[in-house]
Structure 1
Amino acid sequence: MQTRVERYLAHLDRLSGGREPKFTPFRSTRPGMRGVTAIVYRDLPEPGITTGLTYGLSLSGDPSWTRSTPELCISVHSTDDAWGWAIAYLAERLRGGDCHFAYGDTIGFGERVSKESDMDAFVLSAPLGLAREDFAGIDVGDGLPVDITGCYPIHSSERRFIQDNGVEAFWNLDWDPYDVTRAAVVA
């Protein structure tokens, strides 16, 4: 019988076509909680795109998670693993009630995520490019199923816009969610 992590990784193997990711663990800063691991794929789903996911956030037991538990995902036009590491770092630091990781949430990183970009924040939503059955209700064998939550890099000005106007207003603007070198779409 597969363990919880083996079931999750088997799901990722199916989505990635068996591609081998790079695993980077982030040690827990919270007593009694396990660490979070960044799982980074290069050139997935296509050449030039780096996709990072987390494992460990869903183990933190936030009381607001009543139907499913989240793990995070980011896909960007970049070869810098820092994007995948950033979401794992945030998952480790903000779990346990500091952030619920719900669609529409924005998260400030506090500094540039990567040398190639001025972006320093994220907005959470459904992952683009995946069918609902590929990101929602992933059976990991125990407890609640896992839902993969998309993380989209944004600028601080865009984060303020979302907080003032809502995430739907931001999604309706003309911007590329994969482009980490784009200019801010709102000042």
Structure 2
Amino acid sequence: MTSRVEKYLARLDRLSGGREPRFFPVESTRQGLRGVTAIVYDDLPRGLLTTFTYGVSLATHPDWRHCSPELCLSVRSEDEIWAHAAGFLAEQLRGTCPFGPGDTVDFGERIVPESAMTGFCVFEPVAFAREDCSAIDVGVPGHEGHDVIAVQGLYPIHEVERQFINAYGIDVFRQQVWEPFDVLRAPAV
């Protein structure tokens, strides 16, 4: 029988074309809940460092009715601190943050030294086709459709952008001219 994580990794394997990822485990701070793993791909898609999480969906949240999230961070950088930050954030906030479109997170400091960005926003992953990231059925045989993961995009943002999103919404922010993968860009608002 294929396990939940094996089904998820099989989807990532298809998405990546069979590339070998690196795995960065993050120990759980919650008793009875397994840790989070940051699954990192270099140059996927071309020129981006991409990190998928596994472990957010092991928690529960009242907003997660039909599916539970995992996160995908894609950045134009070679600094693997981005991957560690995604894993840390996923572990710390799973079960308390719904990780739904428009949610923002204040990291509290620069995420990496090279970038002035101090927060993240969430919406669908734009580096991949929607059908590759939504409705990943990881349920056991006979219970298909009862355990579904939807990958949510995690995007680094400046503090002023986080405040803007909180005030005006993610849809208004996304209408601004900005490059979601560029961690060295100026604020879009």
Fold similarity call, TM over 0.5 = yes
TM-score (norm: length of structure 2): 0.94
* Residues 71-86 of structure 1: pairs in structure 2 closer than 5 A: 71-86=70-85
Q: In 2, distance between residues paired with 1:132 and 1:38?
A: 21
User: Offset of 1:129 from its aligned partner?
Assistant: 2.9
TM-score (norm: length of structure 1): 0.95
**Aligned-partner residue type, residue 69 of structure 1:** S
Q: In 2, distance between residues paired with 1:42 and 1:137?
A: 24
- Give the % identical residues: 54
User: Offset of 1:152 from its aligned partner?
Assistant: 0.7
Residue aligning to 2:107: 109
**Aligned-partner residue type, residue 76 of structure 2:** H
Q: Does 1:41 align with 2:41?
A: yes
Secondary structure, aligned partner of 2:137: coil
Q: In 2, distance between residues paired with 1:103 and 1:165?
A: 13
User: Residues 101-151 of structure 1, C-alpha deviation per residue, up to 9 Å, x if partnerless?
Assistant: 111100111111111101010110000032222011001124421000000
Q: Does 1:24 align with 2:28?
A: no
Structure 1, unaligned stretches of length 5 or more?
Answer: none
User: Residues 15-47 of structure 1, C-alpha deviation per residue, up to 9 Å, x if partnerless?
Assistant: 00010111000000111111000011111110x
Q: In 1, distance between residues paired with 2:103 and 2:161?
A: 12
Q: Does 1:146 align with 2:145?
A: no
Q: In 1, distance between residues paired with 2:21 and 2:52?
A: 10
Q: Is the 2:50–2:73 Cα contact (8 Å) retained in structure 1?
A: yes
Structure 2, unaligned stretches of length 5 or more?
Answer: 141-145
Deviates more, 1:169-178 or 1:58-67: 58-67
Q: In 2, distance between residues paired with 1:85 and 1:79?
A: 12
Secondary structure, aligned partner of 1:161: helix
Residue aligning to 2:170: 167
Q: In 1, distance between residues paired with 2:70 and 2:94?
A: 11
Residue aligning to 2:91: 92
Secondary structure, aligned partner of 1:88: helix
Residue aligning to 2:12: 12
Q: Which runs of 4+ in 1 moved over 6 A?
A: none
